[in-house]
């Protein structure tokens, strides 16, 4: 809810143009971030089975493959960061230039989501830490909203 709520809250507090610029950058980040989920769907059952049958083997598997799982998303984040001006111009037009710094600020999100998937989902859920995982998600949502309000006033278009 907190990832979709940002645009809504921004629309309530900031001018409509700000919500449009933010939404433009957010859609690009969401597109890159969405690539984590097919990977997660493919690997999570394997890690869960290994965690149930042989927890040390599950840890070893994740340690061996973490960099391979993370590298494509670090690359996507770097493309979003370095290519923000070009991506925004090509996909949205020059009138969306104020979305460029927003995309640059949000560019680490695909890598962060990939790291969260590896460390929180694979490790925590795979090894049975469901309650702790739920608490972590709730805390992340709270931090998101606590940071959102000051950022709205700092990043006025």
Q: Which two tokens stand for residue 14?
A: 């900031």
How many structural domains is the chain composed of? Answer: 1
Average pLDDT, the chain: 87
pLDDT value at residue 92: 94
Q: Is the pLDDT of residue 149 over 80?
A: no
Q: Smallest Cα–Cα separation from 98: which of 30, 34, 16?
A: 16
Q: Around Cβ 81, how many Cβ atoms within 10 Å?
A: 14
Q: Is the pLDDT of residue 108 over 70?
A: yes
Of the pLDDT bands very low, low, confident and very high (cuts 50, 70, 90), residue 121 is: confident
**Whether the Cβ atoms of residue 27 and residue 34 lie closer than 8 Å to each other:** no
Q: Smallest Cα–Cα separation from 157: which of 88, 100, 92, 82?
A: 100
Of the pLDDT bands very low, low, confident and very high (cuts 50, 70, 90), residue 137 is: confident
pLDDT value at residue 1: 56
| 115 half-sphere exposure, CB direction, 13 A CA radius | 7
Residues 48, 77, 134: CA angle, nearest 5 degrees: 35
pLDDT value at residue 29: 94
Q: Which parts of 1-157 fold into alpha helices (H)?
A: 2-13, 16-33, 36-53, 55-92, 99-106, 109-116, 126, 130-154
Domain, as residue range, for 113? 2-154
Q: Is the pLDDT of residue 69 over 90?
A: no
Q: Around Cβ 132, how many Cβ atoms within 10 Å?
A: 12
Tokens 């799982």 correspond to 69
Percent of the chain with pLDDT over 90: 38
C-alpha–C-alpha distance, residues 125 and 110, integer Å: 20
pLDDT in tens, 36-62: 888 888 888 888 889 889 989 988 888
pLDDT value at residue 25: 93
- Contacts from 93-96 at CB under 8 Å and sequence distance 24+? 96/20, 96/21, 96/24
């Amino acid at each position: 809810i907190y990832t979709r709520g940002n645009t809504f809250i921004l629309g309530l507090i900031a001018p409509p143009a700000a919500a449009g610029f933010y939404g433009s950058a957010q859609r690009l980040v969401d597109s890159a971030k969405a690539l984590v989920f097919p990977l997660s769907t493919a690997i999570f059952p394997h890690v869960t089975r290994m965690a149930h049958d042989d927890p040390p083997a599950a840890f070893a598997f994740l340690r061996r493959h973490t960099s391979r799982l993370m590298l494509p998303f670090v690359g996507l984040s770097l493309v979003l960061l370095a290519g923000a001006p070009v991506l925004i111009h090509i996909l949205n037009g020059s009138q969306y230039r104020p979305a460029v710094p927003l995309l640059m600020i949000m560019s680490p999100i695909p890598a962060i989501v990939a790291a969260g998937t590896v460390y929180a989902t694979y490790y925590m859920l795979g090894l049975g830490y469901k309650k702790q995982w739920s608490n972590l998600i709730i805390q992340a949502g709270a931090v998101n909203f606590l940071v959102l309000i000051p950022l709205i006033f700092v990043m006025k278009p």
